[in-house]
Amino acid sequence: MKLLVGLGNPGEKYQATRHNVGFMVAEQVAQRHRIALKKKGYQGIYGVGRLVVQETTVLLPQTFMNCSGSSVNAAYQSLGLTPGDLIVIYDDLDLSFGRIRIKPGGGHGGHNGLRDIVAKLGIDNFVRLRIGIGRPEHGNITGHVLSRFAPDEQKGLSTLLDVAAEAAEKILVDGVVAAMNSYNSYNLYD
């Protein structure tokens, strides 16, 4: 069993915002593999299904971003996973919009959702799929992450979500190293 977690904030107010790009990618993966995200548990909404050969739980925590660790830890412990079985998808300010990065561990990089997951699980060696949202020009980080994508970004968003979903599938099927080799140089604008 693998656990694929998309990070975001629950509620209509936050739908389609930069901070919810993790939700968007996880939903895309679930949809592509006909995994219904209708079960309630682990302080989130989830579904279970098969991604090619890999049994996978797709989880969208409903605890708000900064408290994501409670939801992820509940699923992680209940499913009896190891760090390599956990893939977390989230937005990254330090990557420009349209870039993707996969890492098999590391710090939280200032991301409060990731910080909470590391704190609650007591580990940091799980797989991360980072989706670039870029930094704001004038430093209003909160306003930037909670805002919707700009019109020029909207044009490429569906392609970015498709490629990020493919990257998540590659991690699950072929492993993190193969996925890194295939997707860490990806740039929507190349």
Would you give per-residue pLDDT tens digits along the chain (190 residues)?
999 999 999 999 999 999 999 999 999 999 999 999 999 999 999 999 998 788 999 999 999 999 999 999 999 999 999 999 999 999 999 999 999 999 999 888 889 999 999 999 999 999 999 999 999 888 789 999 999 999 999 999 999 999 999 999 999 999 999 999 999 999 998 7
Catalytic-residue membership of 108:
no
- Name the percent of the chain in helix, strand, coil, to the closest 5: 45, 25, 35
Which residue segments constitute the domains of the chain, with CATH numbers given?
2-183 (3.40.50.1470)
pLDDT at 98: 95
Q: Cβ distance 58 to 143 under 8 Å?
A: no
Separation CA 21–CA 39 (nearest Å): 21
Q: Cβ distance 2 to 55 under 8 Å?
A: yes
Separation CA 126–CA 104 (nearest Å): 6
62 Rama class: left (phi>0) / alpha (psi -120 to 50) / beta: alpha
User: One of 19, 33, 111, 144 is an active-site residue; which one?
Assistant: 19
Phi, psi at 108, each rounded to 5°: -90, -10
pLDDT at 30: 97
pLDDT at 91: 96
How does DSSP classify residue 104? S
